Amino acid sequence: MTTILFDLDGTLIDSTEAILESFHHSYTVHKRSVPDDETIKALIGYPLDVMYLELGIEAEMVQTFVVTYKEHYREISREKTVLLECAREAIEEASRFARLGIVTTKTGLYSRELLEHFGVMDYFEVLIGREDVENPKPHSEPIDKAIELMGCERSSCWMIGDTRLDAGSAKNAAIGCVGVTTGYDNHEQLSTLVDVIEKDALEAVRFIKYMGMK
């Protein structure tokens, strides 16, 4: 049976407002100059600790910023996150022919809360978050762990994601990948690592369904 692993941010949900506000909050609390939003957005998809390091926070202060970010994010995430257009339809359609999982660099606890809030968590057998792995995407470990927990065949497993991190993880895990342009990497960036790129998760699901019928 086909297995589909979905990324979250930029693939199924849009939490850009919550992410940016939480970064702004952390910088304000710790009395630092806030980076511009485009610089922050260019790093979305990486783990928070990596983002803060890339944004110039000293290594010894990174975890302090991460904790401040997470405390604020948890308070506002439900209010300031939305399911992307066609995401619910994509999940429902995928569930009719495939087993489903989530592989994200977001904190798994908060990701689960969001998906429960949207009423779609029950469609997913596993959710692999940042705290569940030593090596986040683009390493293969998050996908490897999902495959292990689900006991599924790697040869029939696909990743759907919006960034090169997703595509790289899929490539390293030796599974299929469909990129989507609803998130943070554009078509040109995605095309450096993935051959199939669709406009959204629903079209990606339909491509995978078609491939399974061939």
pLDDT along the chain (214 residues), means of 10: 97 96 98 97 94 97 97 95 97 98 95 96 98 97 98 96 98 98 97 97 97 78
Say yes or no: do domains 2-14+82-213 and 16-76 share a fold: no
Cα gap 113→117, rounded to integer Å? 6
Question: Which residue pairs from 206-212 have beta carbons closer than 8 angstroms and sit at least 24 positions apart in sequence?
Answer: 206/93, 207/178, 208/2, 208/4, 208/94, 208/98, 208/158, 208/160, 208/176, 208/178, 209/2, 209/93, 209/94, 209/97, 209/98, 211/176, 212/2, 212/97, 212/156
The confidence score (pLDDT) of residue 213 equals 75
Q: Please state, in angstroms and rounded to a whole number, the distance separating the CA atoms of residues 176 and 197.
A: 12
> What pLDDT score does 212 carry?
80
Helix (H, G, I), strand (E, B) or coil at 32: coil
**The CATH number fitting domain 16-76, selected from 2.60.40.1220, 1.10.150.240, 3.40.50.1100, 1.10.3720.10:** 1.10.150.240
- Dmax over CA atoms of the chain, in Å, equals 57
CATH superfamily of 2-14+82-213: HAD superfamily/HAD-like (3.40.50.1000)
Q: Supply the pLDDT for residue 214.
A: 66
